[in-house]
Chains A and B, each alone.
Chain A
Amino acid sequence: MDIEKIREDFPQLRHNFIYFDSGATALKPIPVLQAVRDYYDKYSTNIGRGIYKTSHKATVAYEKSHHKVLEFFQGDGEVIFTKNCTEAINIVAHGIDWKPQDKIIATYLEHNSNLLPWFRLKKFGVVVELLKCDPEGNIDLNELKQRIDNHTRLVAITHASNVIGTILPVAEITEISHKKGAMVLIDGAQGAPHLEIKLNEIDCDFYAVSGHKMMGPTGTGILFFKKKYFDELNPLNLGGGTVSDVYTDSYKLVKNWERFEGGTPNIAGGIGLGAAVDYLNAIGMSEIRKHEIELTAYFMDQLRKIDGVRIHGKMEPEKRTGVVSFRIKDIPSHRIAIIADEVGNVAIRSGLHCAFLMTRDILKEEQGTARASFYIYNTKDEIDHFVEIIKKIAKDE
């Protein structure tokens, strides 16, 4: 794999810019930009509506993206496009007919997007319980087993922590939950872009993905669900495209993904997302994973040598994604981030990472952590540059 050649596909990297914030959103390669541009340049028309050639072309391209995504995640189910991972999770939260006393189990590891939609259901009498984790992101599977009772309808859990990168044993969690009759939703925002996902093996009921974190355009997300939920899940938006017939006081929903994508969707985004999947496939997810493990190991090795730096999470790089949260002495994380940017043109994230419970209550980082997150376009040279900045920040006068 030629990283330098891959880097040429990312125009932003030509401008002395080091991007270590792929956990927030990934850079977009030229083929994705080109696919979006081509749509707007050559066949920017609505889908599913027109009988003319360009509309047909747009419809085919948009539909094809759905198929590519389904194939990419190796799942026997349905894929619908959403605006992001948050919306994908909210579709499930709003789409299931919850009953009072239904129980949902989530964890302290979750991003707010996989907590707040469940908390909101409390007003309908739904009970939400949180499973604690340790500072390395481990959850006790025996405790999970005990907590799942007859009322438990859903276990909602992240595939990988967006704060410390810990990869959760989602297949095992799904097996435990299914044995006790609970559905499983996995927040794949930090898993899907970095790991080879075989949904048929994980066997979860719902898998939510952030399209823009896997090099797709912003405003794209994915919800996968098993076929058996097709009729059970109520669409979030009803309107154009969602129905096959309308009567004076009712309607009949269509039998494909359009049911869940009411109104004109983000056509350019969906087509771009298909191009992103092609791009990731061409490199190979196992190659991406290998590269990220190498970078993560290298970065953590360098950090460990600096006095005053503390890394959060597991020390084995193969047990985490390329997300590394750290602190430098008592320096606020935002200060570290602004210095990295101003002094070295390095973009990192800082703060609570929309995971208040994990960052504040488990890691005890009231004011957040500095977080570097890597992707296929990053290099050890870039890490060296960043480590020099960290050394200077950590050095006492």
Chain B
Amino acid sequence: MNKSNFEIFRVCSRGGHEYYHIIPKKELNDFPENVQKLSIAEKKDKYLVLKMPDCKVTLFKGGRMLIEDLPEGSDTRAQAIVEEIMG
């Protein structure tokens, strides 16, 4: 599953902070296996918080995500992050 399986929305671009809301076109059954290779900052029943070099990502089991606090104009970076998480 790659970035084309997701819809990426810029939800907030205020005061230089950019947030992206990622919605899978088809809901996943569980976290992607690839997350094991990533740094997990927080693990809860229904979601994980992943620590990326430049931001954090909240990832839900169904594939919904929130990419937190990138600099303004980070659309390409947001797409790359989705790819990286999905593997």
Contact = CB atoms under 8 A, between A and B. Distances in A.
B15 A343 contact: no
Contacts of A335: 49, 56, 58, 66, 68
A342 B43 contact: no
Contacts of A356: 14-15
Contacts of A362: none
Interface string A357-380: 000100000111000000000000
B12 A343 contact: no
Contacts of A351: 12, 14
A397 B47 contact: no
A367 B17 contact: yes
A343 B60 CA distance: 9
- For the residues of B in contact with A, the DSSP-based class is strand
B42 interface: yes
Interface string A132-173: 000000000000000000000000000000000000000000
A338 interface: yes
B15 A360 contact: yes
A61 interface: no
A334 B11 contact: yes
Nearest to A342: B60
Contacts of B62: 342
A258 B15 CA distance: 40
A343 B69 contact: no
A132 B49 CA distance: 37
A366 B15 contact: yes
Interface in B47-81: 47, 49, 56, 58, 60, 62, 64, 66, 68-69
B66 A334 contact: yes
B6 interface: no
The number of chain A residues touching the other chain, given as a range, is: 10 to 19
Interface residues of B, number: 21
A397 B44 contact: yes
Contacts of B66: 334-335, 338
B81 to A, nearest CB: 15
A352 interface: yes
Contacts of B58: 335, 338-339
A343 B46 contact: yes
A368 B58 CA distance: 17
Given A351-B12, A356-B15, A367 B69 contact: yes
B2 to A, nearest CB: 22
B15 A352 contact: yes
Interface in B1-20: 11-12, 14-15, 17, 19
Contacts of B15: 352, 356, 360, 366
Given A334-B68, A366-B15, A339 B42 contact: no
A339 B47 contact: yes
Interface in A373-397: 392, 397
A351 B46 CA distance: 23
A219 interface: no
A335 B50 CA distance: 12
A69 to B, nearest CB: 33
B64 A342 contact: yes
A332 interface: yes
A351 B17 CA distance: 10
Contacts of A367: 17, 69
Nearest to B65: A338
Interface in A330-351: 332, 334-335, 338-339, 342-343, 351
Contact of B47 (A343, A360, A368): A343
A198 B49 CA distance: 49
Interface of B: 11-12, 14-15, 17, 19, 21, 42-44, 46-47, 49, 56, 58, 60, 62, 64, 66, 68-69
23 contacts: A332-B68, A334-B11, A334-B12, A334-B66, A335-B49, A339-B47, A342-B47, A342-B62, A342-B64, A343-B46, A343-B47, A351-B12, A352-B14, A352-B15, A356-B14, A356-B15, A360-B15, A366-B15, A367-B17, A367-B69, A368-B14, A397-B42, A397-B44
Given A335-B49, A338-B58, A342-B47, 4 more contacts: A332-B56, A335-B56, A338-B64, A397-B43
Interface of A: 332, 334-335, 338-339, 342-343, 351-352, 356, 360, 366-368, 392, 397
